[in-house]
């Protein structure tokens, strides 16, 4: 996935040196292209290509909000023995599963004597197993929801950009030190990161109903006792390092996990990289082409987002970013982030025309210079 704002450049004035983040592609299985040196003619062609690409840019919605507005959570699969349907609460639950269900879960009869919960996967035969056990009303409730998942959903629906999760190791001293380091960096990024202005007249960049757009991060500490949630957070192909020691995961959108990383090797630069990646304007809008995986959550996202918008504006639409820089609308933002959480949109400027004119002038200058040679 690519976005248009991978660094802090142009986002605000830093009050301390900002580490240069590594390219997300290097960590998420992609490779960087080799550096090449261009002849003047190649430079002109590249300039025009970039100019036209800049003029054709459309969506300026941040990645985290685009996911919240548009990406439906992938469904986990629950395989159950036939005997499980004898319990009325379980039978009723399965009967109500469907497109209108708040749980991103599908259920089907299995061949074993125990139930199995599997990660979402296009090929059922290779879906990694999340949980195996006896299916009871209590175990079904634990599979589909938990206090930590409720808290993640609450924070996202409150307008938080990214919820960082710290999977604790059990070593209180170590866990506290990591939490303090991460929270310090998140508070700093909140104050220097500025969202790209969104054109209210651009239909491709229209926000869906939901909370006001702002820059806000938080850290949620989860003990090892929440084994099921931690297994979901670690992903279908967890790194071996996650089995020991504390680790971090970044959650956004409708319970989308961007990745999970050992905390010891995840410093300020890496935290900054993930945050700015998710704050950047989304240019890769197809969910399947993006990194990450979804949590199993029991949240009626569409209903919750619409209710928030109706409560905020009384019209069921999200306030435009240019009008949300108000202490009356966002008292929490003012308290946590003294600098404006979402600055007023700058006056419209004909950027595509300016770039095209500059490119044309550059081409003409090169041509005139070459034609004037003896």
- Give the best-scoring range by mean pLDDT among 3-17, 98-112, 147-161, 284-298: 147-161
- Give the best-scoring range by mean pLDDT among 6-10, 231-235, 289-293: 231-235
Q: Is the pLDDT of residue 341 over 90?
A: no
Q: Is the pLDDT of residue 233 over 70?
A: yes
The token pair at 285 is 């809008």
What are residue 252's DSSP bridge partners?
Answer: 256
Q: Residue 111: its pLDDT value, please?
A: 84
Q: How many CA atoms lie within 13 A of 130 on its CB side?
A: 28
DSSP string, 223-260: -TT-HHHHHHHH-SS--GGGGSS-EEEEEETTTEEEEE
Instruction: Return the DSSP state at 21.
Output: P
Indicate the range of 86-100, 180-194, 207-221, 298-312 predicted with least confidence.
Answer: 86-100
How many angstroms separate the CA atoms of 332 and 215, rounded? 12
How many angstroms separate the CA atoms of 366 and 346, rounded? 34
Indicate the range of 54-63, 94-103, 160-169 predicted with least confidence.
Answer: 54-63
Render pLDDT for 178-197 as a digit per residue (tens, 0 to 9). Answer: 999 999 999 999 999 999 88
Q: Residue 291: its pLDDT value, please?
A: 84
**What is the band of 67 on the pLDDT scale with cuts at 50, 70, 90?**
very high
57: helix, coil or strand? coil
Q: Is the pLDDT of residue 49 over 70?
A: no
Residue ranges per structural domain of the chain: 63-71+148-336, 76-144
Section 346-368 average pLDDT? 50
**What is the band of 356 on the pLDDT scale with cuts at 50, 70, 90?**
low
267: helix, coil or strand? coil
- Residue 4 contacts residue 280 (beta carbons within 8 Å): yes
Section 124-150 average pLDDT? 92
What are residue 105's DSSP bridge partners?
Answer: 76
Q: Residue 362: its pLDDT value, please?
A: 57
Indicate the range of 33-42, 125-134, 250-259 predicted with least confidence.
Answer: 33-42
Section 43-49 average pLDDT? 40
The pTM (predicted TM-score) of the whole model is: 0.71
- Residue 302 contacts residue 157 (beta carbons within 8 Å): no
How many angstroms separate the CA atoms of 246 and 244, rounded? 7
Q: Is the pLDDT of residue 94 over 70?
A: yes
- Residue 62 contacts residue 282 (beta carbons within 8 Å): yes
- Give the best-scoring range by mean pLDDT among 89-93, 248-252, 367-371: 248-252
Q: Residue 242: its pLDDT value, please?
A: 93
* End-to-end alpha carbon distance in the chain: 49
- Of the candidates 322, 311, 316, 310, the residue with the CA atom closest to the CA atom of residue 347: 322
How many angstroms separate the CA atoms of 201 and 209, rounded? 16
**What is the band of 353 on the pLDDT scale with cuts at 50, 70, 90?**
very low
C-alpha dihedral, 259 to 263 to 268 to 271, nearest 10°:
20
C-alpha of 347 from chain center: 28
E strands, the chain, are: 76-80, 105-109, 115-118, 129-133, 162-167, 217-222, 247-252, 256-262, 293-294
Position with higher pLDDT, 119 vs 370: 119
Burial class (CB in 10 A: 0-12, 13-18, 19+), 314: exposed
- Give the best-scoring range by mean pLDDT among 70-74, 149-153, 262-266, 353-357: 149-153
The token pair at 226 is 């929440």
How many angstroms separate the CA atoms of 71 and 64, rounded? 10
């Amino acid at each position: 996935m690519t976005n248009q704002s991978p660094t802090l450049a142009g986002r605000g004035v830093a009050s301390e040196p900002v580490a240069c983040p590594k390219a997300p592609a290097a960590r998420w299985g992609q490779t960087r292209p080799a550096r090449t040196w261009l002849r003047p003619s190649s430079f002109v062609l590249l300039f025009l290509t970039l100019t036209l690409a800049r003029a054709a840019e459309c969506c300026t919605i941040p990645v985290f909000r685009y996911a919240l507005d548009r990406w439906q959570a992938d469904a986990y699969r629950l395989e159950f023995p036939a005997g499980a349907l004898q319990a009325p609460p379980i039978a009723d639950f399965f009967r109500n599963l469907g497109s209108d269900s708040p749980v991103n879960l599908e259920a089907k009869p299995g061949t074993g004597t125990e139930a199995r919960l599997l990660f979402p996967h296009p090929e059922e035969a290779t879906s990694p197993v999340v949980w195996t056990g006896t299916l009871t009303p209590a175990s079904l409730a634990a599979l589909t929801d938990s206090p930590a998942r409720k808290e993640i959903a609450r924070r996202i629906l409150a307008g938080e950009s990214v919820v960082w999760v710290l999977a604790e190791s059990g070593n209180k001293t170590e866990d506290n030190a990591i939490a303090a380091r991460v929270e310090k960096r998140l508070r700093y990024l909140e104050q220097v990161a500025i969202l790209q202005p969104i054109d209210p007249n651009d239909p491709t960049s229209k926000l869906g109903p939901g909370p006001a757009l702002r820059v806000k991060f938080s850290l949620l500490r989860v003990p090892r006792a929440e084994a099921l949630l931690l297994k979901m957070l670690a992903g279908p192909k967890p790194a071996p390092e996650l089995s020991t020691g504390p680790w971090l995961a970044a959650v956004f959108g409708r319970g989308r996990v961007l990745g999970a990383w050992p905390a010891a090797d995840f410093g300020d630069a890496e935290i900054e990289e993930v945050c700015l990646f998710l704050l950047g304007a989304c240019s890769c809008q197809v969910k399947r082409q993006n990194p990450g995986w979804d949590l199993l959550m029991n949240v009626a996202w569409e209903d919750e987002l619409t209710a928030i918008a109706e409560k905020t504006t009384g019209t069921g639409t999200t306030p435009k970013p240019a009008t949300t820089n108000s202490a009356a609308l966002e008292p929490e933002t003012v308290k946590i982030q003294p600098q404006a959480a979402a600055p007023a949109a700058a006056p419209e400027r004909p950027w595509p025309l300016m770039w095209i004119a500059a490119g044309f002038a550059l081409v003409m200058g090169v041509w005139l210079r070459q034609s004037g040679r003896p």
